[in-house]
Structure 1
Amino acid sequence: MTANPVLWNLDARGVATVTLNRPEVNNAYDGGLIGGVLAAMDELGKKPNLRVVVLRGNGKHFQAGADLKWINGVRPKSAEENEAVSRATFEAVQRLNTLPIPTVALVQGGCFGGGTGVISACDVVIAADNAMFSITEVRWGLTAAIIIPQLCDAIGVRQVRRYALTGERFGADEARRIGLVHEVAPLADLETAGAKMVEQLLANGPEALAETKALAMESSFGGVAVDDAAYARLVKMHSARRQTKEASEGLASFAEKRAADWEGNA
Structure 2
Amino acid sequence: MNETILEDIDRRGVVTLTLNRPEINNAYDDALIDAVLGALDRLAGIDTARALVVQANGRHFQAGADLGWLARVAGESAAANVRASRRTAELVHRLNTLPLPTLALVQGACFGGGTGIIAACDIVVAASSAIFAIAESRWGLIANIIVPQLADAIGVRQLRRYALTGERFDAAEALRIGLVHEVVPPAALAGTGERIVDQLLQNAPEATAQTKAAILEQAHGDLSAQSFARLVAQHAARRQSDEAAEGFASFREKRAARWYPGKPEIET
**What is the TM-score of this pair, normalised by structure 1?**
0.97
> What is the distance in 2 between the residues matched to 1:4 and 1:93?
21
Q: Which amino acid aligns with 1:245?
A: D
Deviation at 1:182, TM superposition (A): 0.1
Matched, 1:122 2:121: yes
SS of structure 2 residue aligned to 1:168: coil
Matched, 1:236 2:240: no
Deviation at 1:42, TM superposition (A): 0.7
Could you give the per-residue CA deviations for residues 142-183 of structure 1, whole angstroms, max 9, x where no partner exists? 000100000000000001100000000000010000000000
Deviation at 1:208, TM superposition (A): 0.7
Deviation at 1:263, TM superposition (A): 7.3
- Determine the structure 2 residue equivalent to 1:258: 255
- Determine the structure 2 residue equivalent to 1:165: 164
Deviation at 1:89, TM superposition (A): 0.3
- Determine the structure 2 residue equivalent to 1:100: 99
- Identical pairs, percent: 59
Deviation at 1:224, TM superposition (A): 1.1
Deviation at 1:18, TM superposition (A): 0.1
> What is the distance in 2 between the residues matched to 1:50 and 1:263?
49
Give unpaired runs (5+ residues) of structure 2: 262-268
Structure 2 matches for 1:177-216, cutoff 5 A? 177-216=176-215
- Determine the structure 2 residue equivalent to 1:5: 4
Aligned residue pairs, count: 261
> What is the distance in 2 between the residues matched to 1:37 and 1:93?
10
SS of structure 1 residue aligned to 2:121: coil
| RMSD of Structure 2 on Structure 1 (CA) | 1.0
> What is the distance in 2 between the residues matched to 1:49 and 1:136?
38
Could you give the per-residue CA deviations for residues 97-134 of structure 1, whole angstroms, max 9, x where no partner exists? 00001000000000000000000000000000010000
Could you give the per-residue CA deviations for residues 85-104 of structure 1, whole angstroms, max 9, x where no partner exists? 00000001111100001000
Structure 1 segments (4+ residues) deviating >4 Å: none
Deviation at 1:79, TM superposition (A): 0.6
Higher Cα Rg, which structure: 2
SS of structure 1 residue aligned to 2:146: helix
**What is the TM-score of this pair, normalised by structure 2?**
0.96
Distance 1:139 1:201, change over 3 A: same
> What is the distance in 1 between the residues matched to 2:2 and 2:105?
23
Q: Which amino acid aligns with 1:156?
A: G
> What is the distance in 1 between the residues matched to 2:260 and 2:162?
23
- Determine the structure 2 residue equivalent to 1:42: 41
SS of structure 1 residue aligned to 2:247: helix
Matched, 1:76 2:78: no
Deviation at 1:3, TM superposition (A): 3.6
- Determine the structure 1 residue equivalent to 2:109: 110
> What is the distance in 2 between the residues matched to 1:6 and 1:150?
23
Q: Which amino acid aligns with 1:234?
A: L
SS of structure 1 residue aligned to 2:238: helix
> What is the distance in 2 between the residues matched to 1:55 and 1:199?
16
- Determine the structure 1 residue equivalent to 2:221: 222
SS of structure 2 residue aligned to 1:55: strand
> What is the distance in 1 between the residues matched to 2:83 and 2:5?
20
Q: Which amino acid aligns with 2:156?
A: V
